[in-house]
A and B are shown apart, each in its own frame.
Chain A
């Protein structure tokens, strides 16, 4: 587990700072907002936090199987590579807004990339 990246980004505090900004971007992005338009925004935000913790290389319990199971209903609705790219793009924009360096943003994107095939059920 790459805890160094998580700590370098600011640990849990950084995740807290990022989660509202990120979720707001995602909900405002017409390409993907439908997938995130959960009635229960709090539960959705908790999921975003778990996702960002993972993307930052922090402590998380996700397995590839969880990723597959958790996104299967979205894949059935048409979730594909373009949506995955849009999410990563929004995450990068969030980090940029928080003045995170390009070097770390690339690392986060690379971590996200490792989940692509599981998320998309490939």
Chain B
């Protein structure tokens, strides 16, 4: 008996011993693919209904597995499935502004309420639209089990059309449009003793704050070390909250780092770039899980240094954040 595949409103038969990729291509459906041997991940797809077999998720990140992503070339379905290309189902929906709270001289926390419950993981991001064609990505700083609203940290970008609008015009009660949450940079339980290293700069603290809280809430017992970097003290925020959190949870530590070379050492602050401070603190990253967010150059360099310090590639999480033009 062939299984049925529902893809983009059409149903296709998938014969026994046939992969999802073979079935789709055999029916003339164009699906991206390359090596056909489960290595290159070009044929990544997502099951929106039905469970992909474990063998079709080999080599994928835990966060992708948790969202039922699978490799079409290695997927021999055991049951009927509804499948989609990655993020093809990323629709938009309405949200109401609940709060606009100042966090620092150039960052506000935007609280959004959605009528329909939003299924998300702390650390993912959403796209927020000013109008139908102008949107920007913002990481979620909230945790589904702790916060009633979605929370975003929005830095005012010079001449930024969306961030300027958020900072100067949005007020509680306004209605905005957002995308569904996207991204693979989040905490998954299952290895509670593993060390977690979180490094962020600027408003890149947002997802890391959510991920740290999420890990704590889910009972992570291993060390959780958060390093937040900025040029000056004024660029840091949530400092008191994070210091309080560290007092409350002995396995959580928070290190604010000031990179300005003219900064005179001061108690409670590390001097140097967050990445360098973290690498000097922790002796080798073999076995650690790493989360990175912020300045793209920092993220790129941190990925490489963390890997060369012993972290496995599958344990390094960062959302591909590119700075949009103003």
B304 touches A50 (CB 8 A): no
Given the complex, which residues of A lie within 8 Å of B307, measured CB to CB? 20, 23-24, 27, 41
Is B313's CB under 8 angstroms from A42's CB? yes
Q: Which of B295-326 contact A (CB under 8 A)?
A: 300, 303-304, 307-308, 312-313, 316, 320
Q: A27-B307, A27-B308, A49-B59 are in contact. Are A59 and B37 (CB under 8 A)?
A: yes
Query: How many A residues have CB within 8 A of the partner chain?
Result: 22
Contact indicator A41/B303 (Cβ below 8 Å): yes
Q: Which of B59, B303, B312 has a CB less than 8 Å from the CB of A20? A: B312
**Docked-complex contact A24 and B304, CB < 8 angstroms:** no
Which partner residue on chain A sits nearest B39 by CB separation? A50
Q: Is A61 an interface residue (CB 8 A)?
A: yes
User: Taking the nearest CB of chain B, how far is it from the CB of A68, in angstroms?
Assistant: 16
Q: Beyond the given A23-B313, A39-B300, A50-B40, could you list 4 further A-B residue pairs with CB under 8 A, ordered by the A residue number?
A: A28-B308, A46-B40, A46-B59, A50-B35
A60 lies within 8 A of chain B by Cβ: yes
B308 close to A24 (CB less than 8 A): yes
Q: Does B201 contact A (CB under 8 A)?
A: no
A-B contacts, 6 of them at CB < 8 A, read A27-B308, A41-B307, A46-B59, A49-B59, A50-B35, A61-B37
CB contact list, B79-120 vs A, under 8 A: none
Q: Is A96 an interface position by the 8 A CB rule? A: no
Contact (A46, B39) CB under 8 Å given A20-B312, A24-B308, A41-B313: yes
- B residues with a Cβ closer than 8 A to A are 35-37, 39-41, 58-59, 300, 303-304, 307-308, 312-313, 316, 320
Q: Tell me the bound Cα distance from A60 to B303 in angstroms.
A: 28
Q: Are A46 and B37 in contact (CB under 8 A)?
A: no
A109: interface (CB < 8 Å): no
Q: Does A94 contact B (CB under 8 A)?
A: no
Contact A45-B37, Cβ < 8 Å, known A24-B308, A28-B308: no
CA distance A99 to B316 in the complex (A): 27
B299 nearest CB neighbor, chain A only = A39
Encoded as 1 (CB less than 8 Å from any B CB) or 0, chain A from 9 to 21 comes to 0001000100010
Chain A residues with CB under 8 Å of B320's CB are 40
B41: A residues at CB distance < 8 A: 43, 46
The 9 closest A-B pairs by CB, nearest first: A50-B39, A45-B313, A49-B39, A46-B40, A61-B36, A20-B312, A41-B303, A46-B41, A50-B35
Distance, CA A28 to CA B35, complexed state (A): 27
For residue A47, CB closer than 8 A to chain B, the reply is yes
Specify the chain B residue showing the minimal Cβ separation from A62: B35
A89 to B320 alpha-carbon distance, docked (Å): 33
In the bound assembly, the distance between CA atoms of A16 and B316 in angstroms comes to 16
Q: Are B37 and A50 neighbours in the complex by a CB distance under 8 Å?
A: yes
Q: From the candidates A16, A41, A45, A61, name the one contacting B35 in the complex (CB within 8 A).
A: A61
Rounded to whole Å, the gap between the CB of A61 and the closest CB of chain B is 5
Tell me the nearest residue of chain B to A52, going by C-beta.
Answer: B39
Are the C-beta atoms of A60 and B308 separated by less than 8 Å?
Answer: no
List, in ascending order, chain A residues with CB within 8 A of B303's CB: 41
A105 to B300, CA, bound (A): 33
Known: A41-B303, A41-B304, A45-B313. Is A53-B37 also a contact (CB below 8 A)? yes
Are B312 and A53 closer than 8 Å at their CB atoms?
no
Residue of A whose beta carbon sits closest to that of B310: A24
**Residue of B36, B39, B304, B312 ringed by the most chain A CB atoms within 10 A:** B39
CB within 8 A of B37: which of A27, A28, A60? Answer: A60
A23 to B316: give the CA distance in the assembly, Å. Answer: 15
Q: Which residue of A lies closest to B36 (CB)?
A: A61
